[in-house]
Amino acid sequence: MVKAGKYLLCALTVFATFTAQAQTQEKTLEYVIADVNPSVVGIVADKNDSQSLGAGVIIGADGYIVTNTHVIEDADKITVLTAEDEAYEADVIGFDAKTDIALLKAQHPEDFEPALFADSDAVRVGNRVFAIGNPYGLGNSVSAGIISAKERDIDKGPYDNFLQTDASINQGNSGGPLFNMDGEIVGINTAIFSTDGSNTGVGFATPSNQVQWVVAQLKAHGKVGRGWLGIGVQKMRSSDPMQKNKLIIASMAEDSPAAKAGLKVGDILEQVGDLSLKNPRIFSMQTSQKNIDTKLPVKVLRDNEVVETEVVVSEMPTVAEEKKSAPKEETPTDLQIDLERKGLDEDKIQKAVEFPELNFSAFYDEENGYFIVTNVKNDSDAARKGVVIGDRFNTANGKKIFGVEDFKIKIKQAQEIKRMELQVISADTVDTIKLNLD
């Protein structure tokens, strides 16, 4: 009886402690929400004969407010509605379409209470969060959940790096904040996954660290200037476990910082300053956030040898600059457009060399130092293994190819072992393809 009494006392004590902790957590959350609610605002954007409703968050007592670009873009007038039902007209300081982040400034702000940003890199899957927004124009509404995933790519823009949450996000929540349990902004709610526009428990927020970088750019310049190396990278696929899933340079712009540093298409990246080589998307995003004229030490693997150099970050060219520098041409056909996207034109196709042992023909681009496949024989080993027009390669059996004659020599050498291994750069991937030479 004594033992049972002790156990019962223990169970009651644990239950009482758990209940007290749960009540404390709920009470704490109530206080946190009360503290941050005044920092969340509704956004009404008048656009011609229609209105766009969204949310935003005050980040400065002087009237600075963050929201989504798609909420305020093309607006004739923007009105900010506070939790106390006060209305302020707001001016657009700047916006960034690539991250869907916009910065507003309320006119003549009074008693604005700003929210603070958290370090989104420290956020972990499973962390509790809550969102405050303006769903369907109802006014400030709270929903709670957890961080479901990080670094989500939802095909919304070139720098997708979303936090995913199951906290309810509906139409009108766009531009509103996602808070942690300390009442700090971990993200700006931007998109939902839905077939009919309603909440399905899959929402996405731009991480606070990315938001802060964009906001700093907009405050300083009214636009976002991004760092640029002039290379396109892809994940490498190889049978060699030491090379598997590394990043490789798949394309390079003329006169780019990378070209000036002596980098080449086909180089395998071992180090580029402190940039992450986890995947192409994170690499591109971090590159874009580098300051202009930053010098990055680079280490690449080329022809099984380590090459070290230094690349200087320059500013990413704007679309207008690219169009301005492009020569005027006659309207191309769909076929010409497709071939040009693959790096080919009629002149290159005519100068292509046929390699019957491999069942394809290719043009050697001396300027860039790689071959471009111009034709592949149907039902051949190359076709079955995925070689298509536009694929590029510059190594054979692990060795650099120095032109047409050198490639023919390497084909003869490969015939002795009846196999040739090509590192093929296609539209989306870099694959090591093994071709049979029977």
pLDDT at 2 over 50: no
Give the residue with greater pLDDT, 154 vs 127.
127
Domain end residue (candidates: 64, 81, 106): 106
- Regarding whether 417 and 352 lie in a shared domain, the answer is yes
**Assigned domain for 33 exists:** no
Of 59, 125, 63, 49, nearest to 92 by C-alpha is 63
Amino acid at 320: A
Q: What is the pLDDT of residues 301-315, one digit of tens each?
A: 988 899 999 999 999
Domain coverage including residue 264: 227-315
H-only helix segments in 66-224: 69-72, 208-221
Give the residue with greater pLDDT, 1 vs 285.
285
Percent of the chain with pLDDT over 90: 47
Q: Are the CB atoms for 182 and 136 separated by under 8 Å?
A: no
Give the residue with greater pLDDT, 198 vs 131.
131
CA distance 233 to 221: 29
Q: Are the CB atoms for 140 and 42 separated by under 8 Å?
A: yes
**Assigned domain for 412 exists:** yes
pLDDT at 245 over 90: no
- Regarding whether 281 and 342 lie in a shared domain, the answer is no
- Regarding whether 247 and 188 lie in a shared domain, the answer is no
**Assigned domain for 345 exists:** yes
**Assigned domain for 323 exists:** no
Say which range, 4-13, 45-54, 75-84, has the weakest mean pLDDT.
Answer: 4-13
Q: Which residues contact 173 (CB under 8 A, 6 or more apart)?
A: 54, 55, 131, 133, 134, 135, 189, 203
Mean pLDDT along residues 318-330: 43
- Regarding whether 400 and 353 lie in a shared domain, the answer is yes
Q: What is the pLDDT of residues 139-167, one digit of tens each?
A: 899 999 999 999 998 878 888 899 999 99
Q: What is the pLDDT of residues 179-219, one digit of tens each?
A: 999 999 999 999 887 666 666 789 999 999 999 999 999 99
pLDDT of residue 387: 85
Q: What is the pLDDT of residues 332-369, one digit of tens each?
A: 445 555 566 666 777 787 888 899 899 999 988 887 78
Q: Which helix (H) or strand (E) holds 115?
A: none
Q: What are 117's strand-pairing partners?
A: 185
Of 71, 163, 64, nearest to 115 by C-alpha is 64
**Assigned domain for 342 exists:** yes
The domain that holds 215 is classified in CATH as 2.40.10.10
The domain that holds 239 is classified in CATH as 2.30.42.10
DSSP 8-class letter at 405: H
The number of distinct structural domains making up the chain is 4
- Regarding whether 309 and 368 lie in a shared domain, the answer is no
DSSP 8-class letter at 409: H
- Regarding whether 82 and 64 lie in a shared domain, the answer is yes
**Assigned domain for 327 exists:** no
pLDDT of residue 68: 96
**Assigned domain for 340 exists:** yes
Active site residues per annotation = 70, 100, 174
What are residue 28's phi and psi, to 5 degrees?
-60, -45
pLDDT of residue 24: 42
